[in-house]
């Protein structure tokens, strides 16, 4: 009988954990998605910046090439 009660208490505890998880999961997903979008935006911005950079190339009197 005591084992049955302990088992039932464990099931009730697990049910509470599942209920908390169900409530918090949408929040966690929202945070992860926002972080992903922000990170992806930064990567895209850096990529665009590199694509649009122009370099001024000059050659000094010693024949060395210099990028500005």
Domain-located, residue 1? no
pLDDT over 60 (residue 68): no
Q: What is the pLDDT of residues 50-60, one digit of tens each?
A: 766 655 666 66
What one-character DSSP code corresponds to residue 1? Answer: -
Number of domains, the chain: 1
Residue 43 in any domain: the answer is yes
Domain assignment present for residue 3? The answer is no
7 in any annotated domain? no
Let me know if residue 33 belongs to a domain: yes
Q: How far apart are CA 6 and CA 18, in angstroms?
A: 18
pLDDT at site 16: 93
Residue 59 domain boundaries: 25-68
The pTM is what?
0.46
Report residue 29 as tokens.
């997903």
Q: Output the six-digit token pair for 33.
A: 């998605």
What integer is the mean pLDDT of 1-21? Answer: 91
Round to whole Å and give the CA distance between 45 and 41.
6
Task: Report the distance separating Cα 6 and Cα 48, nearest Å.
Answer: 61
DSSP letter assigned to residue 63: S
């Amino acid at each position: 009988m005591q084992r049955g009660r302990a088992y039932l208490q464990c099931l009730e505890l697990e049910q509470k954990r599942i209920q908390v998880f169900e409530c918090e999961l949408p929040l966690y997903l929202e945070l992860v998605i926002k972080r992903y979008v922000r990170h992806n935006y930064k990567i895209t911005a850096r990529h665009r910046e590199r694509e649009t950079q122009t370099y001024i190339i000059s050659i000094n009197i010693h024949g060395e090439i210099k990028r500005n």
